[in-house]
Homo-oligomer: A and B are copies of this chain.
Amino acid sequence: MRPKPISWFFENLPGIQILEDRYKTSIKQSYALSGFIPLETASIEREEILTSKSGDNEIYGVHRLNPESKDSALALRFDLTVPLARYVAQHEWELKFPFKRQQIQKVWRWERPQKGRFREFYQADVDIIGNWDLPLFADVEILFTTHSALRSLWVWTFVINLNNKKLLIGYLQAIWIEKSKLIETIAIIDKKDKLERKVLEDLFQKISISTDAISDIIKLIDISETGDFDTIFDSFGSLENELLSEWLSEIEYVYNSLIKLWLSSDDIKFNPTIARWLNYYTGTVYETFLTGYEQYGSMCSGGRYENLTSHFTKNSFPWVWGSIGLTRLLSILISEWLIEEEKQSLTQVLVTNLDDAHLDKYLDIVRLLREQGIYTELFLDSSAKMKKQLKYANDKTIDVVIIIWEEEIKNNTISLKNIATREQKEVSSDTLLEEVKNMLN
């Protein structure tokens, strides 16, 4: 049988797996630093739960293979949010709110094959769920935490594009766009990156937006692309709309808190034209783009929604969410050569295995190093030539090789070899640990 994997399911060779693991660890640590506890949900849910909030055409169902049966109607999760909603509603009397949690797990989607899409991939989510109310600072924490996580990866510059759903709608109302035309108008604004200004204007005209209003919208688009926070902020100031000023003060609070917490103003952009998720979210919304690679879309998105659990309970659980598309991010960084494999294994020290007569001595060293937390292997085959053992260390990017052979036995010493620098030195048993640690630094 050919050992064929399934297409569009992501699987790594060791060098890349080590990078993916490092990413997961960094993200998890960044999330925990802001107080998000790790939480996992089952991979499988009842079908009706998964289809409650989404179309079901990308969902994988699950059935018993033999005897074939589907009586329980189960399916694999396609995101981490629907299971979270079920979990929160199920445990609403046991959990303490506001509930801050993180989840870095796989989801499955039947996707039409295309670059950067996978049928099994990691999402790295943070969520804050309130009970009836959830203060605005939750939005700050979600943005700060996902930003810190991305920054902890040190891979590339990226810019958060921040908006508030209410702002764009408030702006459109303040320039007298009729309510019935809001959705169409926003849909056209959403095409701003793909179409020329002239084409946009024609589209607005087609749905009978006034010339003045079109000019205002184009002005907003232009200023959103080039202006700094204050310029964009001030451009709203001339409009008379009481609610608008309330929403502006909200975004000012979020922006200023983020700068205060650690963000550089280069890392975050106020972009009042972000419209993509507006149907779903009810307040803050954001997307994050790799600088120079904006064409790949957002690597980290999120926003605020007024009630996470509306399908499952009568109580209200307002919710802010942020998510890093980990598998997608990693696949783009690799295909664009923005990161490269560095290590082929995590092992730091290889003890060569050159003579069964010295096994006890080898084992003493392995034990000593492992007790000190140094990742150590004994070469498995004592009949292998020295050259083969050194090649193994080289292939697996092991840093230090320990050699005990005739010469060393005679002198009662141990030889250390630094694979990268080819430096080799003889040391005594007493100083071995110290010398190994020096070589590893």
Chain A interface (Cβ within 8 Å of chain B)?
Answer: 1-6, 9-14, 17-18, 20-21, 32-35, 37-49, 51-52, 55-57, 59-68, 72, 74-76, 85-87, 89-91, 94-96, 98, 100-101, 106, 108, 110, 119-120, 128, 130, 133-135, 137-138, 141, 148, 257, 260-262, 309, 311-313, 344-347, 353, 359-360, 363-364, 366-367, 370-371, 373-378, 380-383, 392, 395-396
Contact = CB atoms under 8 A, between A and B. Distances in A.
| Centre residue among A62, A65, A76, A86 by max chain B CB count within 10 A | A65
Contact of A61 (B62, B134, B262, B374): B62
Nearest to A374: B33
Given A6-B46, A135-B381, 17 more contacts: A1-B48, A2-B312, A11-B42, A12-B39, A13-B91, A34-B370, A34-B377, A35-B345, A35-B375, A57-B67, A60-B62, A60-B65, A62-B63, A65-B110, A96-B392, A133-B381, A148-B370
A130 B380 CA distance: 10
Contact of A135 (B64, B135, B380): B380
Contacts of A98: 380-381
Contacts of A89: 3
B59 A347 contact: no
Nearest to A372: B33
A6 B86 CA distance: 11
5 contacts: A11-B41, A43-B106, A96-B392, A135-B383, A137-B380
A134 B367 contact: no
A65 B42 contact: no
B32 A346 contact: yes
A235 B86 CA distance: 60
A59 B49 contact: no
Given A39-B14, A347-B35, A375-B35, A46 B4 contact: yes
9 smallest CB-CB distances across A and B, nearest first, come from A35-B377, A3-B89, A9-B42, A3-B312, A3-B90, A35-B347, A59-B65, A61-B65, A260-B363
A85 B5 CA distance: 11
Contact of A37 (B18, B134, B367): B18
A377 B100 contact: yes
| Centre residue among A59, A96, A373, A383 by max chain B CB count within 10 A | A96
Given A1-B312, A35-B347, A120 B90 contact: no
Given A42-B11, A43-B43, A378-B137, A5 B86 contact: yes
A346 B141 CA distance: 16
A44 B9 contact: yes
Contacts of A75: 65
A138 B130 CA distance: 52
A403 B434 CA distance: 45
Contact of A120 (B44, B63, B257, B376): B44
Nearest to A260: B363
Nearest to A45: B6
A265 to B, nearest CB: 16
Contacts of A33: 370, 373-376
